[in-house]
Amino acid sequence: MKHRSKAVPGILLVALGALFLGSACVRLNEPSVYKCETDSDCDSSEHCSASKLCQSDSVCDYDGDCEGGKICSARSCIAPQCTQLTGQCGAYQCSLGRCTTSCGGDSSCRPGAKCSAGQCVEPGSVANDKTCSTDAACQSQHCCTNGFSTGVCRASCLKAVGAACATGAECTSNLCCPTKGTTTLTCSATPCSEIPECSVDLDCKNAGKCTAGKCVAVAPQKTGASCTSATQCLSAICQANTCRAVTGDPCTVYTECEMGHVCCANATGTGGTCSGADGKCALTIGARCTKNADCSSGMCNDSVYCTKYCNSGAECGVSPWGDANSCETNGLGQQICFPGCTTSSECQSNLGSRFGCYYALNSSGKVCEVN
């Protein structure tokens, strides 16, 4: 048995160094006797490692530290799990003395075995309802993914009657048909042409009409047309089976407007538009008011009637009682719209007893003014 001399313990060297060098620190190199070129330079229970250091035969960092074909496991040299590429690891391969335990493809398995859901399996060994990745892995030869990355072995990948589908090729019946009352397609036992799409209009989506059991598309309708759903109306409002107009839309009577709204006459007194969200009409020029917000012009003169600044009578429209308004100069030298009139009773009944009907100064018409 060959023995190598051991290095002087480091603590003794440090102590000796301290005697000769006082308090100075000295770095001591590793003794060369621990280094080796061949196994013969080491003790009988050691070997010369790849890093050229004597290392115990029972301790390792990687397979190269072990002798006699052993492998390194948990820093100990042990006998290999397998020595042949196939035949010792079941469906897996032998790699570097170890049986693989998972796979990313068929090449990680023994020849003939298949990689299925990360595991090597014998061909045709996976039972139904178990995960798979290839048809060959299943006993049924049908690995069904149903849109997911991991498949499941099934007796057949075709869908049963009633299952959702996109095409007939997905169904055991080879028939994929629309379902009454919805746009969903399902596998059917009956030819699609024989299945009624609808019984009434409500069965049809997207504002369709039910005609002879089929849904027929209908173009959106104007205000006043009959309807059963909002999508059948251009305004997208169907109330009391009638397409209704929304705020700001033209109207002639209040029943054309969305419920809770009214048809407001315009400045000329002809036609009108549907009222705003509060259901009220903004007042026109000449109408009685108490605040600016009451008026469509945003201006309430002396908290009595709606007006606005103007340059000519054409800008002032007509009064709520039907007389042409006039553009006149007020007491402040401003030109504003005055409510038109024919008789003083019109002014008094609409604006108050203080008002009378007088000839205008800047035009040939008459206007309501304070007595």
Amino acid symbol at 72: C
Which whole-number Å values give the CA distances from 238 to 182, 202, 230, 253, in the listed order? 21, 14, 5, 17
Burial class of residue 60 (count of CB atoms within 10 Å of its CB; 0-12, 13-18, 19+): buried
Is 114 in contact with 121 (CB distance < 8 Å)?
yes
Across 118-127, 174-183, 218-227, 359-368, the highest mean pLDDT is recorded for: 359-368
* Averaged pLDDT of the chain: 79
Q: What is the pLDDT at residue 15?
A: 43
Is 274 in contact with 261 (CB distance < 8 Å)?
yes
Q: Which H/E stretch holds residue 348?
A: helix 344-351
Q: What is the pLDDT at residue 146?
A: 65
Q: What is the pLDDT of residues 50-102, one digit of tens each?
A: 778 887 777 787 887 777 788 888 888 888 988 887 778 888 888 888 888 88
Q: What is the pLDDT at residue 17?
A: 44
Is 139 in contact with 153 (CB distance < 8 Å)?
yes
Asked whether residue 256 carries a pLDDT value surpassing 60, the answer given is yes
Q: Which one, of 128, 130, 187, lies nearest residue 155 by Cα?
A: 128
DSSP state of 136: G
What would you measure as the largest C-alpha separation in the chain, in angstroms? 142
Asked whether residue 107 carries a pLDDT value surpassing 70, the answer given is yes
Is 238 in contact with 227 (CB distance < 8 Å)?
yes
Render the burial of 76-100: b for 16+ CB within 10 Å, e for the rest.
ebeebebeeebeebebbbbeebbbb
Rounded-to-integer distance, Cα 169 and Cα 172, Å = 8
Is 78 in contact with 93 (CB distance < 8 Å)?
no
Q: What is the pLDDT of residues 2-55, one digit of tens each?
A: 444 444 344 444 444 444 444 444 334 444 447 888 878 888 777 777 778 887
Asked whether residue 166 carries a pLDDT value surpassing 90, the answer given is no
Rounded-to-integer distance, Cα 242 and Cα 226, Å = 5
Q: What is the pLDDT at residue 147?
A: 60
Query: In the beta sheet, which residues pair with residue 250?
Result: 273
Q: What is the pLDDT of residues 304-354, one digit of tens each?
A: 999 999 999 989 988 888 899 999 999 899 999 999 999 999 999 989 999
Indicate yes or no: pTM above 0.85.
no
Q: What is the pLDDT at residue 207?
A: 59
- Tell me which residue has tokens 């008026």: 295
Q: What is the pLDDT at residue 231?
A: 79
Mean pLDDT, residues 107-120: 83
Count of C-beta atoms within a 10 Å radius of residue 156 = 10
Strands 46-48 and 54-56: antiparallel
- Of 23-37, 182-196, 238-252, which range is least confident? 23-37
The residue count for the chain: 371
Q: What is the pLDDT at residue 3?
A: 43
